[in-house]
Amino acid sequence: METVSVNKAFGGTQGVYSHHSQTTRCEMTFGLFLPEEANDGPVPVLWYLSGLTCTHENAMNKAGAQAWAAEQGIAVVFPDTSPRGDGVANDDAYDLGQGAGFYVNATQAPWARHFNMWDYIAEDLPSLLQENFALDMSRQAITGHSMGGHGALTLAMSLPGRFRSVSAFAPICNPTGAEWGRKQLSAYLGDDETKWAAHDSSLLMRARGFDGAVLVDQGSEDQFLDLLRPEALANAATERRQEITLRMQKGYDHSYFFVSTFMEDHVSFHAQHLYA
């Protein structure tokens, strides 16, 4: 692992690090905010998964999570959204290829060699973090925005016991039923739609739910609302009688202005469960 940069922030440090990943078979970069409390021992961990076109930098620089995480004594991990590099497959469209990993393990050419973002987030990066930083991996929570909200919800429901809480900002809730999802899932996983269900939070909610609290914020003026399909997740949670808070925020769109507005709420929500 190589240290790219470390900056003092809110009494703690905001670092950027790179490493060679065994799962994505390329160099990966991530951000990690450590609160001041990490100097005295392991601290709880909040994962933030970003959306389409993003790198580790977008949320790290725009979401405002560090200030609220510092208040709560929580570390925040900002992974990249996909493998990258000259030898990594890509596409001219913004919603496929580099910057659009969709947090799945691809099985189809030309994506299968590098696009293993599920294993990267679930196994590879957590192991690296535990080996190198003062993090309490028994206390983890996860959140994300858009494509990252999709990833946060699907990982949380598929890895029981891993995360104490999950939240999302404008997540892609029903990718098997919308253009944002069907295109990518078929490209990465093939045409057998039964293999897509493991990456659809609405279907997972109906099938297994989440053993904990769920918070979702969605802007009413989100330009991608029809592609996100929050109503599918709400209906599935209602059918399962899952504990969930889904808030339609009047007038807000899909931008980081929306995310940063409600970031304090999400960090506080996770702190409540990480310190329970």
Write the CA distances from 78 to 37, 38, 178, integer angstroms: 19, 17, 27
Q: Are 209 and 157 in contact (CB under 8 A)?
A: yes
Q: Is 243 helix (H, G, I), strand (E, B) or coil?
A: coil
Q: What is the pLDDT of residue 60?
A: 98
Write out the DSSP string of 18-44.
EEEETTTTEEEEEEEEE-GGGGTS-EE
Amino acid at 160: P
Q: Are 137 and 126 in contact (CB under 8 A)?
A: yes
Q: What's the whole-model pTM score? A: 0.98
- Burial degree of 183 (CB within 10 A; 0-12, 13-18, 19+): middle
Query: What are 93-129's pLDDT values in tens digits?
Result: 999 999 999 999 999 999 999 999 999 999 999 999 9
Q: State how far the Cα of 222 lies from the Cα of 219, in Å rounded to an integer.
A: 5
H-helix or E-strand containing 268? helix 256-274
> Domain holding 203: CATH number?
3.40.50.1820
Which of these, 122, 79, 80, 48, lies nearest to 270 by C-alpha position? 48
Strands 75-79 and 135-144: unpaired
- Host domain of residue 88: 2-274
Read off the DSSP letter of residue 124: I
Query: What are 148-189's pLDDT values in tens digits?
Result: 999 999 999 999 999 999 999 999 999 999 988 999 999 999
Q: Are 79 and 56 in contact (CB under 8 A)?
A: yes
Q: What is the pLDDT of residue 4?
A: 98
**Total number of domains constituting the chain:** 1
- Burial degree of 161 (CB within 10 A; 0-12, 13-18, 19+): exposed
Q: Catalytic positions, please?
A: 146, 222, 254
